[in-house]
Amino acid sequence: MLPPDPARMRIIEAHLQRQLAENQTIGMYLELQLAAVRHRLAATEPRAAGQPTAAAAPAATRPIDTTSAEWKVEQMRTSDGPLPGRVHKGDCHMDGKSVAIDIHRARVMLADGVDACPICRPDTALGID
């Protein structure tokens, strides 16, 4: 039931317009997410029968990128001293204060749960996804 006076009807109208705009934004976001999922599915599904794509191949069979001059671990400052923050490839410029590490230490740190840089993706480069 709607109110009889125009003032309250205008308030309801404004509210409904806001709701419509918000839901339109959500709909656009969901469309983008759906497109991203479909794109990923197309990239990971076998291209031909029995031929897995590189993304679908087991990590052990993917080539490992060892071309980085070094591997780095970003240091997080805490009151108890520095802690490892993120592991980076040597050529990544997204690291803050970092220390050079060898490939073995990078693998160990990633396996132990230290975060991988989302930009240079050392976990993917090392075959540890």
Six-digit token string for 81: 């001293």
Q: Determine the pLDDT at residue 65.
A: 52
For all residues of the chain together, what is the average pLDDT? 77
Q: Determine the pLDDT at residue 60.
A: 45
Distance CA 77, CA 25 (A): 39
Contact 84, 57 (CB under 8 A): no
Stronger pLDDT, 104 or 64, i.e. the higher one: 104
Stronger pLDDT, 66 or 36, i.e. the higher one: 36
Give the tens place of pLDDT for each residue, 44-75: 776 555 555 444 444 444 445 544 458 888 88
Backbone angles phi, psi at 98, to 5 degrees: -135, 165
Give the residue-averaged pLDDT of 13-25. 81
Stronger pLDDT, 39 or 119, i.e. the higher one: 119
SS (H, E, C) 30-44: HHHHHHHHHHHHHHH
pLDDT band at 98 (very low <50, low <70, confident <90, very high): confident
